[in-house]
Amino acid sequence: MEPEYFERLPGDLQSMVAKIEAESGIEIKVTLDESRAGRYFDEPDPLACVVTEAKAQILIPSRDSFPEGAVLHELLHIQRFLVEGVPQLVVCEHHWHPDLEKVFTQVDNNIEHLVIVPKELEQRPDRRDRWIAVMTRVLAQLRSPEILPADRTFLGIYSWVFIERVLNDKTLLAQYAATLAPLNLMERALDFSRDIAFVLPSKEAAVHALVEQFHLAEECLCLHYFYPKKGTCQ
């Protein structure tokens, strides 16, 4: 990582960066992406990461935006793919379309969050308020008349699972239940929460659970396994 950013991190995250880079053989780069600025009203601008078999980037909305909690979140993503060997869900090449890529990038992100956000909160408990704010915003999306039915179904069921399994916030759960029940999604949310809990340690099994629950087009989906020290992807 570039010294100007590495030196802004506390010791535990500096050690994490060094460990990821040593074990993957890839230097983590910090890249300015101004399109990430101002995405959400009254919320901090989000960071993101891009990971391939030969690249690990953390995208920041401005040169001054490098908060340690958000950086930890992106490092956990990178660690999963490049060090732990967890596959990334992508659109198969012969079915590739930019809209599909956008959808399944978000689906993959959602699966990963069920695993990495608990680790994030263990190391930075203050990030809990950030995630409660995010899920409160998502609740407003679910209640909007402009959201597409398929998006409401996925977002509603997934969000219930995230709040129940990761945040365990009683107030948010009650608010979501009041929104999901009239949509006949409450039973599905409870079933999916139970099912995903059993398979979450396996990314492959978690993806299969999503395919079954949301009737995703299985023939469009691939799992990419990165081998950074070889510079290959399978």
What tens digit of pLDDT does each residue of 175-222 get? Answer: 999 999 999 999 999 999 999 999 999 999 999 999 999 998 889 999
At 128, which helix (H) or strand (E)?
Answer: helix 128-143
Place of tokens 């950074």: 228
Are the C-beta atoms of 89 and 207 separated by less than 8 Å? yes
The parent domain of residue 13 ranges over: 1-84
Are 93 and 124 contained in the same domain?
A: yes
Are 59 and 100 contained in the same domain?
A: no
Residue 144, judged by CB atoms within 10 A of its CB (0-12, 13-18, 19+), counts as exposed
Residues of the chain with pLDDT > 90, as a percent, come to 90
The number of domains in the chain is 2
pLDDT of residue 100: 87
Domain end: 68, 84, 100, which one?
84
Are 123 and 198 contained in the same domain?
A: yes
Q: How far does Cα 28 stand from its chain's mean position?
A: 18
Are 77 and 164 contained in the same domain?
A: no
What is the arithmetic mean of pLDDT over 127-148?
96
> Backbone phi, then psi, for 61, in 5-degree steps?
-75, -25
Counting Cα atoms < 13 Å in the Cβ hemisphere of 233 gives: 15
Domain end: 53, 84, 115, which one?
84
Are 59 and 112 contained in the same domain?
A: no
pLDDT of residue 43: 85
Single pTM value for the model:
0.95
Are 111 and 25 contained in the same domain?
A: no
- Closest listed residue to residue 192, CA positions, set 178, 166, 212: 212
At 75, which helix (H) or strand (E)?
Answer: helix 68-82
| Predicted confidence band of residue 42 (pLDDT cuts 50, 70, 90) | confident
Task: List, for residues 164-177, the tens digit of each pLDDT value.
Answer: 999 999 999 999 99
Provide the residue count of the chain: 234
Look at residue 141 and tell me whether its pLDDT is greater than 90.
yes
Are 97 and 52 contained in the same domain?
A: no
Domain end: 84, 101, 133, which one?
84
Residue 135 to residue 112: CA distance in whole angstroms = 16
Are 153 and 231 contained in the same domain?
A: yes
Look at residue 40 and tell me whether its pLDDT is greater than 90.
no
Are 13 and 96 contained in the same domain?
A: no
